Amino acid sequence: MFLEFNKYSKEEMRQFERFVRSSYFNANEKLENLFYYLKSYYPNITEDDIKPSIIWAAATKGEKFKDTNYRKLVSDFTDLLERFFVQNEFDTDREYKKIILLRNLRKRKIKKRFDKTYVELMKEMNSQFSKDGDYYFRKSLVISEKYQNDFGKIKFEYSPLLQEQSDNIDYLILFEKLHMFHQMFQSKQNSADRNNYVQIWHDEVFRRVEKDIAAIERNHPNIYIIYLVLKMLRDNDDKIMNDLKAYLNKVGSKYPVSQLG
C-alpha cells in the first residue's frame, strides 16, 4: 500500500494532506506523522523506507515497537486512505451530492428546500443529452424521493410519478441489457471457448427498441447507439453501419469529450 503513494499525483497528495490534517476526518496524530514521513520520500518511496520498524518509529516518535500495535497502525491508515478515496469521489460528484441532500431534506421534512432541490435536479437531468445507465439509475432515485415525499397527498390518486418511474426503469433495463449483450458478443469473439451465453430477453429487448425506434433515437441516444452497434455486428449489415456513422456525425458534438473515443 505505501509504495502506491509513488503513483499519486501532486494534487492527490495535496488533497490527502488536507484530509489527514482535518480534525473532522482524522484525530489520530500517529496517522498524520506517518503521512508526512511518506511525503518526505514521495515520489521515490522504496521498500527500505517502509520496513515495519521504520514506519512505526516515524509514526510514534519513539514508542516501543509491538507487532500488534504496528498492524493496528497500518489498518487505521488504510481505513483513513479508503475514506479519503470515497470522500474525494463524493466531493467531485455534484449531482450525487444533490441526490443525497434531497433524501435528507425529505427525511427531515424540510419541504420548501426539498421542492426547490427536486426541481433543480430534474431540470438538470432532463437537459442532459447523454443518458447512460448511471443517468437512469440516478433519475430513479430522484423520482423515488419525490414519490415518498408526496405519498401522503397522492396515495389514493393516480400518480404520474409512478408512470415516469416505470418508464425510466424500462430505459435503464434496455440500456444495461444492450450493453451486456454487446459485452457477451465481444467476449465470444475473443474467446477460444465456443460456449454460448444465455441471453434472456434478447429478442424482447430488440423488439421493445424497434417498437419505439423514433422516440428512442430522439430522446435516448445512448440506447439508440448501442442498439445500432449490436444490430450491425449481429447482422453484418453495411446499411446499419452507415446509419450509425451518420447518427454519430449528427450528435457527436453533444456528448462530453470524456464519453467520446
Give residue for cell 427536486. 118
**Same domain for 83 and 172:** no
Cis peptide before 43 (omega within 30 of 0): yes
Q: Which pLDDT score, from 0 to 100, does residue 194 have? A: 66
Give residue for cell 458478443. 185
**Same domain for 212 and 141:** yes
Are the C-beta atoms of residues 21 and 38 closer than 8 Å to each other? Answer: no
Count of domains forming the chain: 2
**Same domain for 117 and 84:** no
**Same domain for 145 and 226:** yes
Q: Which pLDDT score, from 0 to 100, does residue 256 have? A: 65
Residues in the chain: 261
pLDDT-derived band at 192, boundaries 50, 70, 90: confident
pLDDT-derived band at 190, boundaries 50, 70, 90: confident
Instruction: Choose one of 33, 62, 92: the last residue of a domain.
Output: 92
Question: SS3 string of 64-105?
Answer: CCCHHHHHHHHHHHHHHHHHHHHHHHHHHCHHHHHHHHHHHH
**Same domain for 212 and 158:** yes
- How much is the average pLDDT of 188-194? 78
Cα–Cα distance measured from residue 65 to residue 53, given in angstroms and rounded to the nearest whole number: 7
Angle at 139 between CA 136 and CA 140, to 5 degrees: 85
pLDDT score of 258 more than 60: no
**Same domain for 158 and 84:** no
Backbone angles phi, psi at 128, to 5 degrees: -75, 135
Domain extent, residue 72, equals 2-92
**Same domain for 250 and 144:** yes
Q: Which pLDDT score, from 0 to 100, does residue 205 have? A: 96
Q: Which pLDDT score, from 0 to 100, does residue 110 have? A: 97
**Same domain for 163 and 127:** yes
Q: Which pLDDT score, from 0 to 100, does residue 154 have? A: 85
Q: Which pLDDT score, from 0 to 100, does residue 259 have? A: 56
pLDDT score of 245 more than 80: yes
Cα–Cα distance measured from residue 117 to residue 135, given in angstroms and rounded to the nearest whole number: 17
Are the C-beta atoms of residues 177 and 223 closer than 8 Å to each other? Answer: no
Interval 23-61: pLDDT, tens = 999 999 999 999 999 999 999 999 999 999 999 999 999
Cα–Cα distance measured from residue 134 to residue 141, given in angstroms and rounded to the nearest whole number: 11
Q: Which pLDDT score, from 0 to 100, does residue 191 have? A: 79
Q: What is the pTM of this model?
A: 0.83
Q: Which pLDDT score, from 0 to 100, does residue 46 have? A: 96
pLDDT-derived band at 131, boundaries 50, 70, 90: very high
Residues of the chain above pLDDT 90, percent: 84
Chain mean pLDDT for the chain:
93
**Cα–Cα nearest to 250, from 213, 223, 232, 225:** 225
CB proximity list for 209: less than 8 A, separation 6 or greater: 174, 178, 216, 223, 224, 227
Residue 26 gets the label, from left (phi > 0), alpha (psi -120 to 50) or beta, of: beta
**Same domain for 99 and 209:** yes
* Cell representation of residue 234: 449481429
Q: Which pLDDT score, from 0 to 100, does residue 261 have? A: 39
**Same domain for 154 and 193:** yes
**Same domain for 155 and 55:** no
Instruction: Choose one of 92, 122, 142: the last residue of a domain.
Output: 92
pLDDT score of 81 more than 80: yes
**Same domain for 114 and 82:** no
Instruction: Choose one of 49, 68, 92: the last residue of a domain.
Output: 92
